Amino acid sequence: MRKGKKDKKNNSFKKIPNSLRKYRKMRGLKQKDVAEILGLKSTSMISRWEKGFVLPKPMNIFKLAALYRTMADALFIDLIRSVKEDIHRKEEEILKVKNEECS
C-alpha cells in the first residue's frame, strides 16, 4: 500500500489526485458494489483510494479500469500530468547543466 507523499511545508500528507469516485458514480455503483466485485472485505479501502490517502495496487487499478470501462491512466490523469511535468522540469535542468559543461 503506497501512501500519499508527505508535504514538508505543513507536515500533512498530500492527497493522491484521482478520478475514481467520478468513474464509479458514472457507472452507477456504490462503494459496496465495487468492494464486492473486487473481492474486498469492506468499503474502507475503496474510500481510502477515492480520498487519495493510498494508491491502489497495480492489479486493482487495472480491475477498476475494467469495471469503470476506461483506461487505467484516465483514473489518475491529474497525477500523471503532475508526474510528467515534474520529470520534464528535472530533465530540462539536467540537460541545461550538461550543455553548460560541454560549452
Residue 44 included in any domain: yes
Q: What does the pLDDT average to over 82-97?
A: 94
Give the domain CATH number at 67. Answer: 1.10.260.40
pLDDT category of residue 98 using cuts at 50, 70 and 90: confident
| Total domains in the fold of the chain | 1
In a domain, 50, yes or no: yes
Instruction: Tell me which residue range forms the domain holding 34.
Output: 2-75
Q: What is the C-alpha to C-alpha distance for residues 89 and 29, in angstroms, rounded to an integer?
A: 39
Residue-wise pLDDT for 6-62, tens only, equals 554 544 568 999 999 999 999 999 999 999 999 999 999 999 999 999 999 999 999
Q: Is residue 83 part of a domain?
A: no
Residue 90 lies inside a defined structural domain of this protein: no
Is 69 part of any domain? yes
Q: Report the sign of the C-alpha dihedral through residues 88, 91, 96, 97, in that order.
A: positive
Which pLDDT score is estimated for 5? 58
| d(C-alpha 31, C-alpha 50), whole Å | 10
pLDDT at 4: 58
Measure the CA–CA gap between 49 and 72, rounded to whole angstroms: 14
